[in-house]
Amino acid sequence: MPEASALYPPVSPHASGMLDTGGIHRVYWETSGSPDGIPVLFVHGGPGSGTSPNQRRFFDPARYRIVLFDQRGCGRSTPHGELADNTTPHLIADMEALRAALGIGQWLLFGGSWGSTLALAYAEAHPARCLGLVLRGIFLCRRSEIDWFLHGIRAFFPEAQRQLAEFIPEAERSDLLAAYHRRLLDSDPAVHQPAAWQWATFEASCSTLLPSAELIAAFGTEKTALSLARIETHYFMNDIFLPDNSLLANVGRLRDIPAVIVQGRYDAVCPIVSADELARAWPEARYVVVPDAGHSAFEPGIARELVAACDRFAACGGFA
């Protein structure tokens, strides 16, 4: 967790509800902070992790109308772990429907890891709805990034990657993604739950510069582990349901939107090379490298930069 001074004090929601998507999914949302403040949408990671109360604390509650939502199949959204009608275009449509339901004309998007992926995808689809973007731990969901996450990451976390791999019989280890995906789709909890725990705790073990038993325990809970692992493998197997490299290819649509990219130098889950490529393709965005941080938004240096970026935007409408 971050230093106490990095984030704003805890704040409670003043409204919440379930967005009816017109299908089987119902999406949880909540608002906190100032009802008349700058609307900001927190786009959580995973896909499949859900939101938590501490994620409200990146924003000054006196200046922001803070909106959190649990993406399809995770957190308080229902049905839990559901993969039907669960694609990136569906999530983008949910975000637009939520914006309209809350009477918001434009909002600031704040997302890290998969949250940066989805925030970019939404902004490229609906640039006129975006006041700005605060992005962290850039993940463009290309095949090379997924291969790094499952295999290349052993260069920094050999013990964690070995545990992930050795859970799978040796004959299947050449394709860990497919092997886990098969198990996570199995209806038998005796099959899918151990696989979910292995996947989720592996990710948590690699997400901070220094080990965090608290994060590993949170990711390893039965509910979070299942939605995170099942939905991540679903999206990764399907190349996030977007054309190859579309997020970089369409970055020109974002030229006029204020943006900041915050990246931990030693982020092993989403290596800095992706943030570097995005920053080079989008020179108008402010690019901040935190020299002593890994992946998590709650790394002290990353948390400070994210809060500072949101404070600057509230003060002047930009990140310069």
Catalytic residue numbers?
113, 267, 295
Sheet strands side by side (includes 15-20): 15-20, 26-33, 64-69, 38-43, 107-113, 130-138, 259-264, 286-290
Interatomic CA distance for residues 135 and 115, integer angstroms: 8
In angstroms and rounded to an integer, the radius of gyration of the C-alpha atoms of the chain is 18
Interatomic CA distance for residues 201 and 103, integer angstroms: 38
* In 117-193, beta strands by DSSP E: 130-138
Q: What tokens does 82 get?
A: 């559901």
Burial (CB count <10 Å: 0-12, 13-18, 19+), residue 100: exposed
Which residues, other chains included, contact 241 with Cβ-Cβ below 8 Å and sequence gap of 6+?
87, 88, 89, 235
**Which of 301, 315, 297 lies closest to 134, judged by CA?**
297
**Which of 43, 7, 181, 35 lies closest to 123, judged by CA?**
43
**Which of 136, 134, 194, 146 lies closest to 168, judged by CA?**
194
Q: Strand 26-33 to strand 286-290: parallel, antiparallel, or no bridges (unpaired)?
A: unpaired
**Which of 145, 134, 140 lies closest to 55, judged by CA?**
134
Helix locations, 139-175, DSSP H:
143-150, 158-166
Would you give the DSSP letter of residue 208? S
At residue 304, the 3 state secondary structure works out as helix
